[in-house]
A and B are shown apart, each in its own frame.
Chain A
Amino acid sequence: MTAQTIILVEDDPGLRTLIARLLQENGFQVRTAATAPEMWIALENGPPAHLVILDIMLPGTNGLDLCRQIRRTSDIPIIFISAKGGDEDRILGLELGADDFLAKPFQPRELVARARAILRRGPMTDGHHARGRNAFVFDGWTVYFSRRELRSPSGAVVDLTGAEFDLLSTFISQPMRVIGRERLIELSRTRLSDSSDRSIDVLVSRLRRKLAAAGGEPPIITVRGVGYMFSAQVTPA
């Protein structure tokens, strides 16, 4: 497997160097930029990039505007890192089409894990959730990927933890298909500190409980000895 390329946009020189080193040590190719113009240069020169890690506070054009500009022409995955921890920035960032959001100071391992998860998810979800179609419906429930939000058939926001949302995304991307427990654990590793058989089962039972809350039968079927299957029709909203 050839090394995947990440563009890192961060104006603080120390942090830029440290993050670049971290990513390189974890097997990524990294091209760095301190400003918006430098980012465009880094994007267009050299082998094609697979992911952009973008600081929100940049001199000149800020990260949110930059994200908007990138999205006009490209579907490249974007992870925001921000010194503002607030949920408003997170929601705005995700709404603009970013794939993930990390508040500074983050755990180095967390950044690597999220980058890996997004790069891994890429080929798997391609074709099914093409960008632009960011909401899906099943059994009256709506899933908004841009805001990482689930709404009940009556329209209420239903809270999910990050791990639960990732699990639901995995199910939605492969409806009517049995997904092995091993595969689910692998896909959820980013969110679970200790990914064991037990914790994936706990996660599934919690998700089931929330999807059953509205009174219907939750559309997650246990396939004994193998894993789980999502049994509802999924349609783009």
Chain B
Amino acid sequence: MRLPSIGLLGRILLILAFVLATEFVANTLIFDRASKFALQDDEAHRMAEHIVVARRVMDRTPVANRPAVARELSTTRLTVSWHRGIDTQSTSFSLSGLRDQMLAIEPALFEAKLRLHLMPLRQGGDIAGSVELSDRSTMIFRAAQQKSFWPLTVGRLVALALPALLLALIGGLMIRATLRPLRGLMNATRMVGRQEPAPLVERGPKEVRGLIRDFNVMQLRIHRLIGTRTQALAAVGHDLRTPLARLKLRLDAARLDPEARAAMIGDVREMGDLLRSLQIYLGGEGQSLPAEKIDLAVMASTIIDSARDEGHDVFYDGPANLETWARPVSIRRAIANLVENAIHYGGSARLSIREADDAILIQVDDDGPGIPPDRIESALQPFVRLDDGRARNTRGMGLGLAIVQDAVRAEGAALSLVNRPEGGLRATIRLPHRQPFGGG
């Protein structure tokens, strides 16, 4: 049930038209209200009589005495003054309702050319007006602010402020609604390449719909591109394993001098390790398995025991038991990779586990050269090796830390690398305490 879109320009024009219409309606209402304004009958009577009497008195008073007499005629409710010429006060808010009311009470005021208007708010917002004397001079009067005028003043304030407020609100809502599809697009852009592409619903103005359509196409293309590359790499990793297995069997059967055989077996093993790290990196090993309750301390000491069996200088410092929730395969891989790195670059590894307030800290220290501070960031990138050309003794493809980073992220944990002041690198996994989903 999608309506044909009128486009961004159309929308903005519509918003403008709406705003103008609102302002027009609001103004009309204010004028209408002022013109229909009427005083209670007795008050109108009193005012009309006062004006008629004052006019009559002023008419018979010599011109020289008029200002003084005008002062005499003034009461607290109605101030009277005299003006030599014709009334020139602005009549932006003419009170035709009240005028009709007063003319009905005192028809004489019609001949006197009664004019009534509302004074600007900054001058008190009173009702003011004038009548003409017989010599065409003007008597001006002004009714002092009274309780009965109050609704008119408040009404005017609200009426003046309302359109502005209403316009701000409506404009804001309309622009928000217009931009909402763009916000969805923004969020989706952030996720491109990180998860399965989910096409966005095309909605909003024509231009935005077009943008979303193009984005969907692009998203799919990027996903396919990543997919093809990943598949190609995985296929290489996979397809090389069978020939490597053959090579191992042939080596085993071949007549070779033991030293050469050992070297070749070492080479084949290295190739196997390369492929394995590639497959783990591409496959996100174990991340599709659910989190389970695990004994992290036993896991750590098992990794250390195995490394010690291979003759490495490794040490575990931590509790004998520490149960928590994590994906066993990926967290085991992360710790093992850090230990392997420490052994490889530092010659030794000290793995320690301790509990902080809100997290478990898994630390691996070594006595190696550490990482230059400006290269720590890139050390976490896949396929980056930190050895320079002359000391290229790294095995693996530079995926070790990238695999750790992925595994750690999947656990909602954080990985940090710092050079210890006393030398060597310290890698820390900060694993938040976690409960099983749904408490089960």
Interface residues of A (CB under 8 A from B): 12, 14-15, 18-19, 21-22, 57, 81, 83-88, 91, 103-109, 152, 154-161, 206, 209-210, 212-214
Pick the contact of A86: B250, B279, B305, B320 (CB < 8 A): B279
Known: A87-B286, A161-B302, A213-B321. A15 touches B242 (CB 8 A): yes
With A and B bound together, what is the CA distance between A210 and B332 in angstroms?
Answer: 17
- Closest-by-CB residue of B relative to A215 is B321
Q: Knowing that A22-B253, A105-B272 touch, tell me 4 more A-B residue pairs with CB under 8 angstroms.
A: A105-B244, A154-B323, A157-B292, A213-B297
Which residues of B224-279 have CB atoms within 8 Å of chain A's CB atoms? 238-239, 241-242, 244-250, 252-253, 268, 272, 275-276, 279
Q: Please give, as numbers and ranges, the residues of chain A lying within 8 Å of B245 by CB-CB distance.
A: 15, 81, 104-106
Known: A86-B280, A87-B286, A159-B298. A106 touches B293 (CB 8 A): no
Do B241 and A18 touch across chains, with their CB atoms under 8 A apart?
A: no
Which residues of B398-431 have CB atoms within 8 Å of chain A's CB atoms? none
Do B329 and A88 touch across chains, with their CB atoms under 8 A apart?
A: yes
With A and B bound together, what is the CA distance between A15 and B246 in angstroms?
Answer: 5
Do A156 and B323 touch across chains, with their CB atoms under 8 A apart?
A: yes
Do A159 and B285 touch across chains, with their CB atoms under 8 A apart?
A: no
Report B12 CB to chain A, min CB distance, Å. 54
User: 29 A–B contact pairs at CB < 8 A?
Assistant: A15-B242, A18-B250, A19-B249, A83-B239, A83-B242, A84-B238, A84-B279, A85-B276, A85-B280, A88-B285, A88-B289, A103-B241, A103-B276, A104-B241, A104-B242, A105-B241, A105-B245, A108-B248, A152-B323, A154-B293, A154-B323, A156-B293, A156-B295, A157-B293, A157-B294, A159-B298, A161-B302, A213-B295, A213-B298
Do A22 and B249 touch across chains, with their CB atoms under 8 A apart?
A: yes
Report B399 CB to chain A, min CB distance, Å. 14
Do A209 and B285 touch across chains, with their CB atoms under 8 A apart?
A: no
Known: A86-B285, A88-B285. A14 touches B299 (CB 8 A): no
With A and B bound together, what is the CA distance between A83 and B242 in angstroms?
Answer: 7
Do B323 and A83 touch across chains, with their CB atoms under 8 A apart?
A: no
Q: Does any Cβ of A come within 8 Å of B370's Cβ?
A: no
Q: Does any Cβ of A come within 8 Å of B288's Cβ?
A: yes
Identify whether the interface residues of B are mostly helix, strand, loop, or mixed. Answer: helix
Pick the contact of A14: B246, B268, B301 (CB < 8 A): B246
Instruction: Bits for B314-344, please: 1 = Cβ < 8 Å to A, else 0.
Output: 0000001101000011001000000000000
With A and B bound together, what is the CA distance between A14 and B246 in angstroms?
Answer: 7
Do A108 and B252 touch across chains, with their CB atoms under 8 A apart?
A: yes
**Tally of A-B residue pairs with Cβ under 8 A?**
104
Q: Please give, as numbers and ranges, the residues of chain B lying within 8 Å of A18 by CB-CB distance.
A: 246, 249-250, 253
- Closest-by-CB residue of B relative to A12 is B242
Report A45 CB to chain B, min CB distance, Å. 26
With A and B bound together, what is the CA distance between A86 and B280 in angstroms?
Answer: 7
Pick the contact of B298: A22, A57, A155, A210 (CB < 8 A): A210
Report A156 CB to chain B, min CB distance, Å. 4
Do A106 and B248 touch across chains, with their CB atoms under 8 A apart?
A: yes
Known: A160-B302, A213-B297. A87 touches B253 (CB 8 A): no
Known: A87-B329, A157-B292. A12 touches B246 (CB 8 A): yes
Q: Does any Cβ of A come within 8 Å of B306's Cβ?
A: yes
Pick the contact of B247: A22, A81, A84, A105 (CB < 8 A): A105
Q: Please give, as numbers and ranges, the residues of chain B lying within 8 Å of A22 by CB-CB distance.
A: 249, 252-253
- Closest-by-CB residue of A relative to B333 is A87
Q: Does any Cβ of A come within 8 Å of B210's Cβ?
A: no
Q: Does any Cβ of A come within 8 Å of B347's Cβ?
A: no
Pick the contact of B302: A14, A81, A108, A159 (CB < 8 A): A159
With A and B bound together, what is the CA distance between A107 and B299 in angstroms?
Answer: 26
Q: Does any Cβ of A come within 8 Å of B283's Cβ?
A: yes
Do B247 and A83 touch across chains, with their CB atoms under 8 A apart?
A: no
Q: Please give, as numbers and ranges, the residues of chain B lying within 8 Å of A160 by CB-CB distance.
A: 302
With A and B bound together, what is the CA distance between A219 and B244 in angstroms?
Answer: 44
Question: Which 10 A-B pairs give the minimum distances between C-beta atoms?
Answer: A18-B249, A105-B244, A105-B245, A83-B241, A104-B241, A104-B245, A159-B302, A108-B252, A156-B293, A156-B323
With A and B bound together, what is the CA distance between A108 and B244 in angstroms?
Answer: 12
- Closest-by-CB residue of B relative to A110 is B248
With A and B bound together, what is the CA distance between A226 and B295 in angstroms?
Answer: 33
Q: Please give, as numbers and ranges, the residues of chain A lying within 8 Å of B301 by CB-CB distance.
A: 209
Q: Please give, as numbers and ranges, the residues of chain A lying within 8 Å of B247 by CB-CB distance.
A: 105
With A and B bound together, what is the CA distance between A14 and B253 in angstroms?
Answer: 14
Instruction: Bits for B77-101, please: 1 = Cβ < 8 Å to A, else 0.
Output: 0000000000000000000000000
Q: Please give, as numbers and ranges, the residues of chain A lying within 8 Å of B294 by CB-CB distance.
A: 156-157, 159
